[in-house]
Amino acid sequence: MSGCPIGCRFCGAGDNFVRSLTAEEIVAQPNHLFDDMGIDTKTVKRLQIMFMSMGEPLLNLKGLIPALHTLSAQHQNAALLISTSAPDVDYEPFMQVSEEIPTIGLQFSIHESTDENRDKLIPFKKKLTLAQIAEKGEEFFRRTGRTPFFNYCAHPENVSDEDVERLYSLFRPEVWQATISVICERDESVAAANQRQRELAQNFMQKLSAKGYSTRCFDPAGQDDIGGGCGQLWYVQDWMRKNPQFARPSIGRTLPMVHTPRPDVVTVV
């Protein structure tokens, strides 16, 4: 997408929405990067193309599904990871293509252990509850044999033992893997926040590991301090400010920004 209608309050790309991209436009983005850097993807040992921070993939199934078919044919060794905030849409077309293409992965951005707190971060109303997300992940696992991920932004208010127990009651560790995002507040630099937030995330990861989860961490070390959203940084934000006639406000635009997760350096569609 160009922009995003979801309006997540931790994302620097989520205040405005222009339009969904076509399948051809989606495919062109990673291919441009590969061509620009002279990368022969057949020789890359570990290659991942991530659909995240560039709008909500599952609100653009018309562009997403044919793009997945094309990218899987062009880059057969590439993992294709879909990261979603879980809008309440028909998941069957996505489940079907995930059965057909064995390199597709699925990650849900849950970020909180209660629906009440999650609603504050993700004000988009037509979305799945945490219990419904758990059901969709179970279905993905059952139909593909691949484990889904849940992505969780650890901050001081959501890393208690009670938070762990709530997650454990919904997301079975034999089915789910956990991604913990290191975040920084919007009023401090990555350098100032990284060590403190990294320790917070790592401590929470240890709690999840003790419950049997396989965990991984997104760490912003080495990135610059330009706004949140790894796919749409300063350039897109600046373009939307200068071209307001093309950008519609997202549902969350009038709400205050809160935490800003900064995933590690990835190739993004």
* Average confidence (pLDDT) over 2-10: 83
- Whether 57 shows a pLDDT value over 50: the answer reads yes
Question: For residues 222 and 216, which has the higher predicted lDDT (pLDDT)?
Answer: 216
Residue 193: predicted pLDDT: 56
Angle, CA of 235, 119 and 179, to the nearest 5°: 65
Cα gap 117→255, rounded to integer Å: 14
Residue 3: predicted pLDDT: 82
Cα gap 228→258, rounded to integer Å: 11
Q: What SS3 state is found at 9?
A: coil
Q: How confident is the model at residue 188 (pLDDT cuts 50, 70, 90)?
A: very low
Distances (CA, A) of 123 to 51, 92, 169: 21, 24, 24
In sequence order, which ranges of 3-154 are alpha helices (DSSP H)?
A: 23-36, 61-74, 92-100, 115-121, 130-144
Tell me which CATH homologous superfamily contains domain 2-268.
Aldolase class I (3.20.20.70)
Task: State what percent of residues in the chain have pLDDT above 90.
Answer: 61
Phi and psi at 254, nearest 5°, equal -80, -5
Greatest mean pLDDT among 142-151, 185-194, 233-242 lies in: 142-151
**Strand 16-19 to 149-153 pairing:** unpaired
* pLDDT, tens digit (0-9, with 9 covering 90-100), for 76-90: 999 999 999 999 999
* pLDDT, tens digit (0-9, with 9 covering 90-100), for 148-175: 999 998 889 999 999 999 999 999 999 9
Residues in the chain, how many? Answer: 269
Q: How confident is the model at residue 8 (pLDDT cuts 50, 70, 90)?
A: confident
Residue 10: predicted pLDDT: 72
Residue 266: predicted pLDDT: 32
* pLDDT, tens digit (0-9, with 9 covering 90-100), for 232-257: 556 677 777 788 888 777 765 555 55
The secondary structure of 79-120 as a DSSP string is: EEEEEE--BSS--HHHHHHHHH-TTEEEEEE--SSSHHHHHH
